[in-house]
């Protein structure tokens, strides 16, 4: 292996040695020049001639070529580098003439460089080539020029100016002939500046030429014009540097009058150019009709050159075999020296025929004898074919327009109808579209409608801007009122001038009625739930308020999404900030008008807004109302209609075919025409954009299989066959794939029938994806509000919201997490489709920064968008969990309560990394609002339920709750055999405290009593407040033996009485109360709850009679006495009412 390397080294050294010997005998310098990526230069190889050419050795430039570059003459340095840069960028050969200067010497040498570049692996550029000395060639050329001028000077007879000047333009000598021209003595101008005897323009040219000669040695061919008495004359200036005995440099100057020469050259050039540049073919023949000349266009059209036809009769252009009538006519006209003009069949040189528009004109002399014939031809084969194609295209367009379900019309600038389709004619009560021509709106509508339509037309045409998709009330031919969705587009001619307008409209009365029904239904739901839902916030259009200073003080979600402003920033930003730069001055003028309006005044206009957050521009129509500037500084309330989707480009109509085509391309929906074999005959621009094509040629003649995916193509073909078979139009909602996205379109297909024959189908499709998506969400929202209004179970509502969101967007996985009572941890309220393991991780998660998306959103109270959980810092702790369960992205929206507090968060997850669009943001924002409504409603219902069963002063259960507990306890005792006790407790001295100290102190005392009772009873015991100062205690699970049960109750009563006997400190004052307690035991006896409460009440009164601060058990004798007393009272009342009493007097 070592031997082989040594041999290779020796061979390389031998090759280099041989190359060096060869290059020594070459006339030029061979080199390699390298430009490295860091812009440094080197010459890795160069022949020995470098020493002679540049005064440098090969070793001096091998690593660094900067020293060589310094040798380049400054006059050529920039050009040298620029040609090298172009060669490096394009990898094209480098050629450049340049001069080299030498230190301490006045010698300047000219060189020519020529090399080819190549790119090396490290990015360097390596040129390989040669440089040769061209100084001698340059000197020969300069000497020849100088000798030529000197020779002219020696002749002494030229009618031109020849003189000598120095570098400052001072005349040194004048040729004798020039002196005669100047009409001056031989020495009249010696020592004078040239402007003394020459016009200003000539002097400027001479001084400029002197400057060029100082750099290059001479200046030639400089032309300039002078306005003299004879008129405008052209002159040519030549100037050569002259060295007088090597002591002084002067310049020999020659000024020649070339006016006549220039005129002759210009005329010859114009005539030649006109003959050759004319687009028609021209043949010139002599008096015997023999060809003498043809132009380039003639050769291009026929293929014949002058060599082919010279000396031949030009009748070859109109063979009698194919042009018998025309041939005879030509002969007759030319015989009378008359011109012929007409169409003939001619043949190319290759034998192919073409339709020729030909004119033959005789050229006659003063004796009316033909001296020549000029034949002008034009190939109109394509023009004729185009005319036929235009007619066919016009027929196809008319078929499409007449088959369209929309009403289409077009007018001139005076709003007179020029045409319409069948649908419009039928709408106007006409039998045929041709009847519309020349009519105006006054022929069809009441004067107020006609005048309004005319003004609308004038605005569109004067503004030269389309007015798209606006709703307007119209009257049909039966005099009925309808609603129409209209669009108007200005029509332009080939000069881009507005010549009329195109109108399209659809009757949307039924849709308006359906929308009205839907709004009515939604309104009913909203009215029933107006405490929890803000219609203003959920409006499908934007509403906002701008104050006197132009600040946006209020905006609903639609307006915020258009502007890209957050709720927290309302009142901080001026509306002008969101106006597109080009519209800012217009907004300022309109805002000034708004300020000048009276309260209640209205103003509408259009603007382009800039959404910096989404980096988009939005076109809106603003409907503004001037309001009072009192409340919240509101000044103008605005309604924003997003009209971005309705702005469409206006197509210039430059010719008749393009004019017809624009009717099709201006439709805001897809249009196509197919033949019986389902092949496309034509489509509009919307269709091309949808299928990703850039030209009609990519679609025409092809079928759906060539344009759409196989499943969609098969479905479309079946629909076409069905339409042609049924001979009836069909409207369907279907999916169309647009740029890789499958969207919902409303498609109308109709058979094309001519006579009784089905020729194909015509179709129209409009994108309804957004409408369908919004419709689905509206229905979903309505269903959720119904559940809330019906007071459905909260868990059912939350689960329905999660399921509904996942149905609207199947790619989403949703989760609702609510904060616990302390507001520190999350609990999962609903998660339908997420893996249980993932849900378990969220359950109990502490909120905070970096606690996933939902935890961070609940903590920051702001929306969190994590487009990729694998890279976002919020998911650092749970990244493994996300990867395990296939979570790619996570968005979260905080759920705010009515008071601004955070109730929880809505989480949205995707399997892949995902960025939300504007619709996604709207969806999660509105959904979080729905969840908030449901939670607030549930909390309100819970509060009502609590008030129904609990006392609002002490928080203890009330009488209703007590009875339900007592009934349950009685039922349990019947099964278990246990006893229970009911203690009726009445506070002693409470009324005195309440009357003397006030009800507030009384309420605080009752609360303290309740707290002491709870502190001295078991958690299973029930304490209820049943009256002002009356409490009832329910003891359960007592001994089945009545005596033992009574003892247990006495122990409880002792604790209670002792606890209540201690003083109460209320507002720094001590108060003393005691309690009288009545007790009744219940067990196996069948008695109702009301009777047990009555028994304990009776026992309590017995305790009060016994001196208070004591207790008594109920005794049946008490009941008997009470019953007897009640009976006596009843009898006495009856006796009084019936006057049964008699008064008796007893004697003393």
C-beta of residue 983 within 8 angstroms of C-beta of residue 1096: yes
Task: Supply the mean pLDDT for the chain.
Answer: 81
User: How many other β-carbons are positioned within 10 Å of the β-carbon of residue 118?
Assistant: 10
Section 708-718 average pLDDT: 85
State residue 143's pLDDT score: 47
State residue 439's pLDDT score: 92
State residue 644's pLDDT score: 76
Section 109-138 average pLDDT: 88
Q: Does domain 28-133 have CATH number 3.30.450.20?
A: yes
pLDDT tens per residue across span 410-451: 999 999 999 998 888 888 888 888 898 999 989 888 888 889
Q: Which two tokens stand for residue 974?
A: 């019947």
Provide CATH code, domain 278-379: 3.30.450.20
The pLDDT confidence band at residue 42, using thresholds 50, 70 and 90, is very high
The pLDDT confidence band at residue 906, using thresholds 50, 70 and 90, is very high
Would you say residue 535 has pLDDT above 70?
no
Distance of CA 495 to the CA centre of its chain: 32
C-beta of residue 832 within 8 angstroms of C-beta of residue 848: no
State residue 168's pLDDT score: 84
Nearest-angstrom CA–CA distance, 1039 and 86: 111
C-beta of residue 439 within 8 angstroms of C-beta of residue 419: no
Percentage above 70 pLDDT, the chain: 83
How far apart, in Å, are the Cα atoms of 186 and each of 197, 244, 725?
Answer: 13, 20, 107
Fold exhibited by the domain 786-946: Beta-Lactamase (3.30.450)
Would you say residue 1034 has pLDDT above 90?
yes
> Which residues 6+ apart lie within 8 Å of 20 measured at CB?
47, 48
Would you say residue 531 has pLDDT above 50?
no
Nearest-angstrom CA–CA distance, 333 and 321: 19
Provide CATH code, domain 534-646: 3.30.450.20
Handedness of CA 956, 960, 961, 966 (dihedral sign): positive
Instruction: Select from 798, 738, 810, 801 the least CA-distant residue to 773.
Output: 810
Residue 927, judged by CB atoms within 10 A of its CB (0-12, 13-18, 19+), counts as: buried
Q: Which two tokens stand for residue 322?
A: 């194919």
The region of weakest confidence among 277-286, 367-376, 452-461 is 277-286
Provide CATH code, domain 669-767: 3.30.450.20
pLDDT tens per residue across span 784-818: 777 776 667 788 888 888 888 887 777 889 999 99
Would you say residue 497 has pLDDT above 70?
yes
State residue 944's pLDDT score: 63
| Distance in Å from the first CA to the final CA of the chain | 167
Percentage above 90 pLDDT, the chain: 16
Q: Which two tokens stand for residue 122?
A: 């490290």
**Alpha helix (H) residue ranges in 830-898:** 836-842, 852-860, 879-884
Helix (H, G, I), strand (E, B), or coil: what is residue 460? helix
β-bridge mates for residue 613, sequence order: none
Instruction: Select from 654, 625, 386, 532 the least CA-distant residue to 930.
Output: 532
Q: Which of 243-247, 250-254, 1121-1125 has the highest mean pLDDT?
A: 250-254
State residue 657's pLDDT score: 53
The pLDDT confidence band at residue 1042, using thresholds 50, 70 and 90, is confident
Nearest-angstrom CA–CA distance, 1078 and 1099: 4
The pLDDT confidence band at residue 276, using thresholds 50, 70 and 90, is low
The residue with greater pLDDT, 736 or 384, is 384
| 566 secondary structure, DSSP code | -
What ranges do the domains of the chain cover?
Answer: 28-133, 138-259, 278-379, 534-646, 669-767, 786-946, 950-1132
The region of weakest confidence among 214-223, 333-342, 1094-1103 is 214-223
Section 484-508 average pLDDT: 88
Section 92-98 average pLDDT: 91
Indicate if 786-946 has the same CATH topology as 278-379: yes
C-beta of residue 657 within 8 angstroms of C-beta of residue 625: no
Section 343-357 average pLDDT: 89
Q: Which two tokens stand for residue 85?
A: 């840069």
Would you say residue 1126 has pLDDT above 80?
no
Distance of CA 145 to the CA centre of its chain: 67
Provide CATH code, domain 138-259: 3.30.450.20
State residue 401's pLDDT score: 79
The pLDDT confidence band at residue 690, using thresholds 50, 70 and 90, is confident
Fold exhibited by the domain 950-1132: Alpha-Beta Plaits (3.30.70)
State residue 1000's pLDDT score: 86
Would you say residue 4 has pLDDT above 50?
no
State residue 147's pLDDT score: 36
pLDDT tens per residue across span 837-871: 898 988 989 999 988 889 999 899 899 999 998 99
Q: Which two tokens stand for residue 847?
A: 């909120």
The pLDDT confidence band at residue 939, using thresholds 50, 70 and 90, is confident
Buried b (16+ CB within 10 A) or exposed e, 934-943: bbbbbeeeee
Would you say residue 525 has pLDDT above 70?
no
- E strands, 448-480, where? 467-475
Q: Can you tell me which residue has the tokens 């003009």? A: 341
> Which residues 6+ apart lie within 8 Å of 197 measured at CB?
171, 182, 184, 188, 189
pTM for the model stands at 0.34
> Which residues 6+ apart lie within 8 Å of 370 measured at CB?
287, 334, 337, 362, 363, 364
The pLDDT confidence band at residue 176, using thresholds 50, 70 and 90, is low
Q: Are strands 1022-1025 and 1030-1038 parallel, antiparallel or unpaired?
A: antiparallel
pLDDT tens per residue across span 66-77: 989 989 998 889
Instruction: Select from 530, 533, 565 the least CA-distant residue to 551.
Output: 565
């Amino acid at each position: 292996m070592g031997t082989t390397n040594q041999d290779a080294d020796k061979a390389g050294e031998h090759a280099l040695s041989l190359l060096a010997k060869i290059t020594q005998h070459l006339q030029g310098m061979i080199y390699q020049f390298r430009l490295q990526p860091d812009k440094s230069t080197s010459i890795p190889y160069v022949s020995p001639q470098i020493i002679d050419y540049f005064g440098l050795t090969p070793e001096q430039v091998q690593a660094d070529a900067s020293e060589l570059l310094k040798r380049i003459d400054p006059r050529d340095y920039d050009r040298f580098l620029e040609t090298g840069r172009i060669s490096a960028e394009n990898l094209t050969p480098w050629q450049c003439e340049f001069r080299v200067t030498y230190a301490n010497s006045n010698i300047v040498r000219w060189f020519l460089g020529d090399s080819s570049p190549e790119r090396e692996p490290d990015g360097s550029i390596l040129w390989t080539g040669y440089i040769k000395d061209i100084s001698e060639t340059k000197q020969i050329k300069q000497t020849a020029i100088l000798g030529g001028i000197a020779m002219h000077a020696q002749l002494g007879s030229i009618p031109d100016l020849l003189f000598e000047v120095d570098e400052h333009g001072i005349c040194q000598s004048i040729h004798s002939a020039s002196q005669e021209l100047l009409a001056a003595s031989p020495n009249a101008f010696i020592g004078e500046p040239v402007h003394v005897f020459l016009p200003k323009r000539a002097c400027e040219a001479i001084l400029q030429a002197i400057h060029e000669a100082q750099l290059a040695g001479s200046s030639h061919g400089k032309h300039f014009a002078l306005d003299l008495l004879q008129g405008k004359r052209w002159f040519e200036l030549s100037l050569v540097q002259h060295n007088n005995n090597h002591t002084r440099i002067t310049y020999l100057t020659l000024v020649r009058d070339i006016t006549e020469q220039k005129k002759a050259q210009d005329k010859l050039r114009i005539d030649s150019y006109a003959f050759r540049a004319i687009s028609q073919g021209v043949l010139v023949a002599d008096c015997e009709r023999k060809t003498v000349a043809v132009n380039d266009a003639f050769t291009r059209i026929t293929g014949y050159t002058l060599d082919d036809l010279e000396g031949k009769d030009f009748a070859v252009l109109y063979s009698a075999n194919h042009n018998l009538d025309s041939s005879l006519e030509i002969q007759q006209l030319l015989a009378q020296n008359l011109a012929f003009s007409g169409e003939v069949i001619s043949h190319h040189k290759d034998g192919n025929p073409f339709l020729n528009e030909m004119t033959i004109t005789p050229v006659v002399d003063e004796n009316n004898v033909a001296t020549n014939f000029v034949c002008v031809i034009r190939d109109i084969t394509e023009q004729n074919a185009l005319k036929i194609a235009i007619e066919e295209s016009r027929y196809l367009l008319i078929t499409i327009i007449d088959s369209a379900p929309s009403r289409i019309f077009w007018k001139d600038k005076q709003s007179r109808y020029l045409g319409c389709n069948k649908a419009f004619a039928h709408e106007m009560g006409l039998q045929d579209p041709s009847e519309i021509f020349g009519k105006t709106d006054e022929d069809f509508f009441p004067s107020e409608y006609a005048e309004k339509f005319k003004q609308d037309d004038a605005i569109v045409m004067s503004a030269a801007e389309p007015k798209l998709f606006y709703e307007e009330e119209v009257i049909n031919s039966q005099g009925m009122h309808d609603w129409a969705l209209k669009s108007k587009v200005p029509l332009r001619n080939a000069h881009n001038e507005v010549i009329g307008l195109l109108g399209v409209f659809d009757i949307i009365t039924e849709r308006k009625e359906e929308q009205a029904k839907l709004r009515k239904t939604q309104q009913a739901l909203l009215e029933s739930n107006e405490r929890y839902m803000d219609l203003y916030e959920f409006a499908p259009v934007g509403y906002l308020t701008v104050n006197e200073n132009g600040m946006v003080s209020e905006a609903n979600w639609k307006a915020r999404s258009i502007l890209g402003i957050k709720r927290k920033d309302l009142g901080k930003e001026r509306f002008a900030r969101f106006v597109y730069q080009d519209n800012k001055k217009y907004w300022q003028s309109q805002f000034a008008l708004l300020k000048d309006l009276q309260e209640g005044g209205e103003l509408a206009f259009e603007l382009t807004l800039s959404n910096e957050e989404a980096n988009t521009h939005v076109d809106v129509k603003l409907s503004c109302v001037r309001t009072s500037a009192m409340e919240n500084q509101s000044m103008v309330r605005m309604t924003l209609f997003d009209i971005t989707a309705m702005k469409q480009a206006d197509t210039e109509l430059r010719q008749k075919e393009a004019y017809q085509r624009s009717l099709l391309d201006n439709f805001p929906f897809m249009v196509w025409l197919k033949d019986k074999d389902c092949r496309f005959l034509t489509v509009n621009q919307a269709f091309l954009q949808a299928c990703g094509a850039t030209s009609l040629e990519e679609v025409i003649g092809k079928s759906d299989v060539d344009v759409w995916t196989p499943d969609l193509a098969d479905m479309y073909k079946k629909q076409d066959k069905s339409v042609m078979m049924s001979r009836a139009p069909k409207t369907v909602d279907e999916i169309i794939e647009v740029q890789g996205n499958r969207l919902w379109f409303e498609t109308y297909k109709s058979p094309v029938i001519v006579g009784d024959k089905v020729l194909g189908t015509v179709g129209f499709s409009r994108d309804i994806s957004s409408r369908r998506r919004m419709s689905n969400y509206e229905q979903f929202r309505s269903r959720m509000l119904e559940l809330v209004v019906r007071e459905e179970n909260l868990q059912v509502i939350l689960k329905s919201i999660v399921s509904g969101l996942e149905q609207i967007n199947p790619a989403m996985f949703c989760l609702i997490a609510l904060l616990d009572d302390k507001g520190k941890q999350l609990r999962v309220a609903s998660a339908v489709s997420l893996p249980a393991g993932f849900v378990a991780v969220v359950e109990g998660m502490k909120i905070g920064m970096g606690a996933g998306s939902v935890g961070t959103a609940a903590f920051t109270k702001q929306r969190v968008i994590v487009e990729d959980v694998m890279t976002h810092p919020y998911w650092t702790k749970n990244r493994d969990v996300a990867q395990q369960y296939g979570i790619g992205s996570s968005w979260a929206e905080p759920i705010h309560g009515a008071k601004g507090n955070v109730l929880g968060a809505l989480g949205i997850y995707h399997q892949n990394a995902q960025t939300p669009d504007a619709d996604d943001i709207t969806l999660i924002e509105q959904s979080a609002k729905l969840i908030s409504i449901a939670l607030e409603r549930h909390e309100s219902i819970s509060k009502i339920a609590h008030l129904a069963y609990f006392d609002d002063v002490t928080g203890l259960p009330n009488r209703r709750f007590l009875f339900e507990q007592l009934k349950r306890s009685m039922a349990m005792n019947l099964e278990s055999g246990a006893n229970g006790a009911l203690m009726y407790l009445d506070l002693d001295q409470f009324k005195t405290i309440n009357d003397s100290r006030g009800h507030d102190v009384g309420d605080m005392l009752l609360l303290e009593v309740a707290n002491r009772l709870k502190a001295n009873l078991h958690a299973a015991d029930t304490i209820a407040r049943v009256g002002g100062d009356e409490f009832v205690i329910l003891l359960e699970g007592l001994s089945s033996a009545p005596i033992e049960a009574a003892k247990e109750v006495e122990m409880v009563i002792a604790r209670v009485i002792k606890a209540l006997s201690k003083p109460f400190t209320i507002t720094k004052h001590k108060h003393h109360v005691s309690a009288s307690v009545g007790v009744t035991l219940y067990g196996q006896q069948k008695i109702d709850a009301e009777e047990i409460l009555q028994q304990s009440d009776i026992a309590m009164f017995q305790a009060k009679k016994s001196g208070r601060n004591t207790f008594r058990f109920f005794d049946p004798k008490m009941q008997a006495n009470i019953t007897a007393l009640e009976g006596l009272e009843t009898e006495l009342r009856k006796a009084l009412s019936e006057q049964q009493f008699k008064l008796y007097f007893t004697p003393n």
